[in-house]
């Protein structure tokens, strides 16, 4: 079920109303049923894999805690991590292989009758796999106790606002919230609705509108040169941010309706002054997951310099592979790893207080954004060949500035009014992110007088209704991961 679908527009109010009618001791069961209904609305078979993951990690965590020896504890740990990792590897690698096989069959290079081979990739599978594995590892490390109540644990794995694309939760934060009695709190509900509205603005008004131009250029890369690639790349940087942070805002706001607080997943990432800082602000739940369960077990920064650099590179290569087995994703992750390594030499972290007080220079902000846009080329390009074409022709004919500009504008095919609308939307987004560096914008704005607040709320809803693309609801980009 998509957040931007008519089905969800009916589902959420019904679940919300019934939730506060159901007695507290049965609310976990109601939310669990609602979460499975939400997920199985996409495909009935998805629920079986979700249930398998839940039963496996629940049983192994209980067994791990009761294990009489260290060897038995390790057996329980790897008994959960290896199968889930293996399943994830199958889903990540089988898709591209089957796609290539289909191409060979269609071209007659494999002597089979024309068939269409497919593999069903369950939406959000890696997110709840990571959440379940993180729980199992935390139990193994003694950070938390294994959950005894199967129902609460099942809800932790499947809670519908975060199920499809996070934020990836931690058991020590979420399980106590599911057990706590949560009365109806007006401020929670209004805050959640406002945050959801802002998330829908990001997705429908900014991301989906920019996606039309980005897709037309990147999906037909060989037909374009010059400024069109430059503009489309910047557009994609904004699109993917608004698409994914929009989902996160909707998820966090939706959970707040039920009195559950999920972690913040984005903190104005394009106002970062370095790649390292960017990753402390972008997809925070996944970044911290890789830090805690991949980077630190490899040795982190508490090793020799060469090993620290290798740990960084390996972690980002794994992150790239998590996004997909295509070479474009792996190269994207590798470049980010190399940039992080470069920054360890440029900004040596001798003491934490010195790092915090290190003077920032204004030029670091645009330089970081340019580097990020460059890496997004590999993330968005359909192949390595397309990425090479785009990079080699970003500045094609720039020695003739007027011709470069005119050709780019013609290729983009955006009317002046549409361009102005996109510009205003992005400006509004940038102002919000800039303000959010200092305070919680929604909370601060909620304290303003009635005649200031409500015109803005109404205007936001009108803009979403009028300027979002009409027709079939588009998936969020990170559903494919």
Burial of residue 313, with CB atoms counted within 10 A of its CB: 0-12 exposed, 13-18 middle, 19 or more buried:
middle
pLDDT of the residue at 96? 58
CA dist 341 → 50, 57, 294, 375 (Å): 37, 35, 17, 15
Q: Which of 370, 367, 368, 386 is nearest to 378 (CA)?
A: 386
What is the number of other CB atoms lying within 10 angstroms of the CB of residue 263? 17
pLDDT confidence of residue 405: 83
Q: Where are the alpha helices (DSSP H) in 1-149?
A: 6-21, 24-40, 46-66, 70-106, 125-141
Q: Which of 283, 308, 323, 336 is catalytic?
A: 323
pLDDT 10s digit of each residue in the chain, 481 long? 788 888 888 999 999 999 999 998 899 999 999 999 999 988 888 889 999 999 999 999 999 988 888 899 999 999 999 999 888 888 777 655 655 555 555 555 554 444 444 445 677 788 899 999 999 999 999 999 999 999 999 999 999 999 888 799 999 999 999 999 888 899 999 999 999 999 999 999 999 889 988 999 999 888 888 888 888 999 999 999 999 999 999 999 999 999 999 999 999 999 999 999 999 999 999 999 999 999 999 988 888 888 989 999 999 999 988 887 788 889 999 999 999 999 888 876 655 444 544 567 888 899 999 999 999 999 999 889 999 998 988 888 787 888 778 777 877 778 788 888 888 888 999 999 999 999 888 888 888 888 888 888 888 888 888 877 765 557 777 666 6
Task: State how far the Cα of 131 lies from the Cα of 136, in Å rounded to an integer.
Answer: 9
Q: Tell me which residue of 77, 87, 178 sits closest to 129, measured CA to CA.
A: 87
Q: What was the pLDDT predicted at 66?
A: 87
Q: Alpha-carbon distance 216 to 386, whole Å?
A: 14
pLDDT at 92: 73
Q: So what's the pLDDT on residue 375?
A: 94
Q: What is the structure's pLDDT at 173?
A: 92
Question: Within 299-412, where are the H helices?
Answer: 305-323, 327-346, 352-357, 364-380, 384-392, 401-412
Burial 26-59 (b: 16+ CB within 10 A, else e): ebbebbbebbbebbebbeeebbebbeebbebbbe
What are residue 162's phi and psi, to 5 degrees? -105, 0
Give 348's DSSP letter. Answer: -
Nearest-CA neighbor of 238 among 60, 426, 50?
Answer: 426
> So what's the pLDDT on residue 101?
59
The Cα 27–Cα 39 span in angstroms is: 18
Looking at residue 94, its pLDDT comes to: 67
CA distances to 98, 117, 118, 334, 342 from 110, in Å: 13, 14, 17, 34, 46
The pLDDT, as a whole number, for residue 121 is 64
Nearest to 200 by CA among 479, 480, 474: 474
Active-site residue, 24 included: no
- The one-character DSSP state at 107 is T
Question: For position 91, what pLDDT does the model report?
Answer: 78
Number of C-beta neighbours around residue 13 at 10 A: 11
pLDDT reported for residue 110: 52
């Amino acid at each position: 079920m998509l957040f931007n679908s008519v089905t969800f527009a009916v589902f959420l109010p019904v679940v919300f109303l019934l939730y506060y009618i159901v007695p507290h001791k049965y609310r976990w069961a109601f939310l669990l049923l609602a979460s499975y209904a939400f997920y199985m609305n996409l495909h009935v078979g998805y629920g079986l894999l979700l249930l398998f993951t839940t039963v496996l990690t629940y049983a192994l965590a209980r067994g791990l805690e009761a294990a009489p020896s260290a060897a038995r504890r390790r057996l329980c740990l790897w008994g959960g991590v290896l199968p889930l990792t293996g399943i994830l590897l199958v889903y990540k690698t089988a898709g591209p292989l089957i796609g290539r096989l289909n191409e060979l069959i269609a071209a007659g290079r494999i002597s089979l009758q024309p068939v269409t081979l497919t593999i069903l990739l369950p939406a959000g599978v890696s997110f709840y796999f990571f959440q379940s594995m993180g729980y199992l590892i935390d139990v193994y490390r003694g950070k938390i106790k294994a959950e005894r109540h199967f129902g609460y644990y099942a809800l932790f794995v499947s809670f519908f606002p975060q199920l499809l694309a996070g934020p990836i939760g931690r058991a020590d934060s979420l399980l106590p919230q599911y057990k706590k009695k949560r009365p109806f709190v007006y401020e929670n509900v209004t805050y959640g609705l406002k945050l959801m509205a802002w998330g829908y603005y990001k997705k429908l008004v900014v991301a989906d509108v920019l996606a039309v131009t980005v897709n037309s250029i990147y999906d037909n890369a060989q037909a374009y040169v010059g400024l069109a690639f430059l503009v489309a790349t910047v557009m994609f940087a904004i699109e993917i941010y608004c698409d994914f942070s929009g989902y996160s805002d909707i998820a966090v706001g939706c959970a707040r309706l039920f009195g559950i607080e999920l972690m913040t997943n984005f903190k104005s990432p394009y106002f970062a002054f370095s790649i390292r800082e960017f990753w402390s602000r972008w997809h925070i739940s996944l970044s911290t997951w890789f830090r805690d369960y991949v980077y630190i077990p490899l040795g982190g920064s508490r090793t020799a310099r060469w090993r620290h650099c290798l740990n960084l590179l390996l972690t980002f290569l794994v992150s790239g592979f998590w996004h997909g087995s295509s070479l474009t994703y792996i190269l994207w992750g590798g470049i980010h790893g190399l940039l992080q390594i470069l920054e360890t030499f440029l900004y040596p972290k001798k003491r934490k207080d010195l790092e915090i007080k290190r003077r920032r220079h204004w030029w670091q902000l645009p330089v970081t954004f340019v580097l990020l846009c460059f890496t997004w080329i590999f993330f968005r390009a359909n192949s390595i060949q397309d990425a090479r074409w785009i990079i080699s022709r970003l500045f094609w004919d720039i020695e003739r500035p007027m011709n470069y500009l005119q050709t780019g504008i013609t290729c983009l095919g955006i009317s002046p009014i549409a361009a102005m609308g996109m510009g205003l939307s992005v400006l509004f987004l940038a102002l919000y992110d800039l303000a959010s560096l200092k305070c919680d914008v929604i909370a601060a704005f909620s304290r303003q007088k009635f005649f200031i607040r409500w015109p803005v709320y109404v205007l936001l809803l009108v803009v979403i209704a009028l300027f979002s693309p009409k027709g079939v609801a588009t998936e969020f980009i990170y559903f494919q991961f």
